[in-house]
A and B are shown apart, each in its own frame.
Chain A
Amino acid sequence: MLDSLQILFLMDGKGPYIWSCLLIFMVITSVNIIIPIIRLNKIYREGNLEE
């Protein structure tokens, strides 16, 4: 089981390229998802303070 993971990760030397691509995709997408949520919470907290 362990070595098949090893093969999957290494992919005869080209593995890091693929995983770095996946990592960059996840980072950029999560930034685009989280920023609106943070903005919404900020408005929510400000809104409640006014009431």
Chain B
Amino acid sequence: MADRDNTLNWFMLVLRRDLTLSFRRSATYITPLIFFLIVVTFFPLALGPSQSLLSSMASGIIWISALLSSLLAVEGIFSEDYRDGTLDQYFVSSEPVFVLIFAKVLCHWLVCGAPIILASIVSSIFLYLPSGALLALIISLLLGTLFMSLLGALGAALSLGKSAILSAIIVLPFSIPTLLMGTAIMSAAINQQDYSGFLMIMGAMLAIGIPGLCLLTVEAILLNYE
């Protein structure tokens, strides 16, 4: 029994530590937000402000910019700890390591995913998104950004110390199912159809992704220690 709440303590500790670190360094949650808004405002500038055109493409634009900004923000998730030796100490301690990885992913999701979802509400107004689809947008982005943080953590672990673009190339092809499901939820919501089926598929992907990707990330980080 003591062992289980020991691991829970360990999980909460790493989460609290990363959250305090991220909030002390305000850049970590502002940059993805600004990047998201910039990318969203580029589309009306490039395609012209006509309402019918923008509202038909709104869900796609919001989803693509959300994926890209949550991916680019994930680059520093391990590099700082890897450089200053804390990651070695955590690996050696007899606590399970994938709990540490999931805590870091959850922290990244709270720090970068949540602001992106707030910004997506604002950008749905920019892009004349039909109001019925707002709730679907928030729910699908909640699941989507979590899956992206998971994938981004694996990409960051694989290319630790390398350029962020490399981890983006590695991870983006794997985010295609999430993108398709998300935009399907949006188009179903816009046509007032029921989108719970797609939510279940995204939930299933997360159910497989969380254990699977965390274990693969542990293997990927260990690889950098050779």
A and B touch in the complex (CB under 8 A): no
